[in-house]
Amino acid sequence: MMKSLLRHVAMVIVLILSSSFFAVYSAAEENANPYLLSLLEGSEGNSKQYLVQLSGTVMNETFSGAQVLLTLMGASPGSPYDNSYLVTVQGFPSLNSRNTFFWNSGYSEMTSIANAITCDIKRTFIKPVPMYFQFLSPSKLKDFDRREAEKLAGKVALPTEIKAQAGQLKLKVHADSISGTVWMKGYDPWEKAYVQYGARLYGKKFSKLILAPLEKPIPLGKQ
């Protein structure tokens, strides 16, 4: 009688454990991202690069024709945010090109679903992040009239590097192209005011890497 009871209890325990295992396995399969590897499929050195055109606004200025180089690669080892990828964006051909921005997703929180990637700089971050946008502050040209200022802008005054205190980069990765939006906000010491930068972006993939990707960041730890 006792043996039969123990056998019955053992079978019940096995059934419970089995059902729990299959439930967890099923959930893991359901949540698995089938695009995780496909976004980099066929890439050179586990990286893809895109020459991206920007158009948008910063302060009261509307701009177009600004250009950046965007690099998409495998995740940075030891990333505190457990990001799926590393995305870097830099002004091209010059890092300090007017109306461009610099982004390194190793310092931001990332979500990736299918072919969509979203990176966030949260206002709750305690430490500053090494990301910024380039804005030619009007105060730098206040001694010139408007026509002279436009002619001399690239010669007498460099853009101001505005460090981002908040921002978001949203990307859609396609077979041979990339599109998305970006916004960043930071304090301009020349204007003595907060300035917001926003742009739409679209770019085509290079068949070969034309520039070595930026170095992967040293993780800052959870902010």
117-143, pLDDT tens digit by residue?
Answer: 999 998 766 678 899 999 887 776 665
| Average pLDDT, integer, range 146-160 | 60
- pTM for this predicted structure: 0.73
- Residue at 188 is within a domain: yes
Dihedral angle at the C-alpha atoms of 104, 107, 112, 117, nearest 10 degrees? Answer: -30
**4-18, 94-108, 136-150, 171-185: least confident range:** 4-18
- Residue at 10 is within a domain: yes
Same domain, 25 and 73: no
**What domain range is 89 assigned to?**
38-205
* Nearest Cα to Cα of residue 186 among 121, 92, 104, 109: 121
Same domain, 152 and 70: yes
Our count of domains for the chain comes to 2
